[in-house]
Amino acid sequence: EVLIYQWKLQSHAVAEANDYKELVKFTDNVRVMSAGRLDIKPYSGGAGALSVGPDIFTAVSEGRIEMGNGWPNWWSGQHPAWAVMNAGPFDFMNLDASMLFFLGAEGTELANELSMPKGVRWLPAWWPGMEFGLLSREPILSLTDLKGKKVRVGPGLPGEVLAAASGAFAIPTVPSEIRPALESGTLDAVEWTTTSGAWDLGLQDVSPHAIVPAIWQPSVVSDFLINDKAYAQLPNDLKVILETAIKAYTLTTTMNNKIKDFEALEKFRQAGVTITTWSKDDLAVWKQASDKVYLKYKADNEFSRKFLEHKQAFKDYFNDYYALFGPYE
């Protein structure tokens, strides 16, 4: 008798998002490669979701679902170091630096030091890289214009730095609620992942102004959470199939989405969205604010300090090489 393993996978992404569409392909691939023995059913964010926001981690930990897909900073309620797991301001500036740290160096091992005590295996999912920025109904041309505004931004480090730099109120709204809140005026400005992610959410229809880039998350990484007990029950061949399919998802979603970001930028321009960039003075304020927040994380928690120091050491290692072998034009 063939034993069938049926899993549930809850994603943060809405059904219209390209990363969720790739997630459906990932589960289809696992089903084909395993001859139906590992059947993973994906659930998008919003209506019909089994779990939303920070609860996705808890749901995986408790075994309510076998897998989750989201963003490390959303798990900061579990441990403050999750807030610095993602690329914060002036952190890894290129997605290849972050990919090398988590796939080739010690990043994933460090992440599992946080997740495994909760019964959760952690793996990088895909890299959006530099996020888009802020979209708004009224023009925002500088940090000064953000003071007192209600801004949708991810929880943890991104929101803390935004609030410290600008005096705005950081509100970590889940994706399905972002556009309605912007339309109703509950939010004054919104960040949502990258250029293509913002376009797929339809934000261009209600926000004709943008200021870029997303200083708060320059090389963001999405993640997979796997219930360790469920994983341990899989035969070795199914473990290999799962991990191989995850690596394929990582590569295709990262590359395909970045191409879509190029295309989406042109769509925003054609839609008449006015795009502004941060001034040098604003960048200096961002840097001062982020340095203070990083110091707080290092002082408040030993693992946060350890993780930030390891990331900085790898960034220095990366930059030393690319000082010689980076762009020369």
pLDDT digits (tens, 9 = 90+) for 244-274: 999 999 999 999 999 999 999 999 999 999 9
The residue type at 10: Q
pLDDT for res 25: 98
Tokens 């929880």 found at: 155
DSSP, res 220: B
What is the CB neighbour count within 10 angstroms for residue 94? 18
Q: What is this structure's pTM?
A: 0.90
In this predicted structure, what is the pLDDT of residue 158? 85
Structure confidence at residue 71 as a pLDDT band (50, 70, 90) = very high
Instruction: List the structure tokens of 53.
Output: 């926001």
Residue 47 scores a pLDDT above 90: no
Average pLDDT value for residue range 280-292: 96
Integer Cα distance of 36 and 4 in angstroms = 7
CA–CA distance, 329 with 327 (Å, rounded to integer): 6
Contacts of 119 (CB under 8 A, 6+ apart): 61, 63, 227, 228, 229
Structure tokens at 266: 């042109």
Of 52-66, 70-84, 223-237, which range is least confident? Answer: 70-84
| Alpha-carbon span 130 to 323, nearest angstrom | 21
Share of the chain above pLDDT 90, in %: 86
Distance CA 245, CA 19 (A): 14
The three-state secondary structure class of 43 is strand
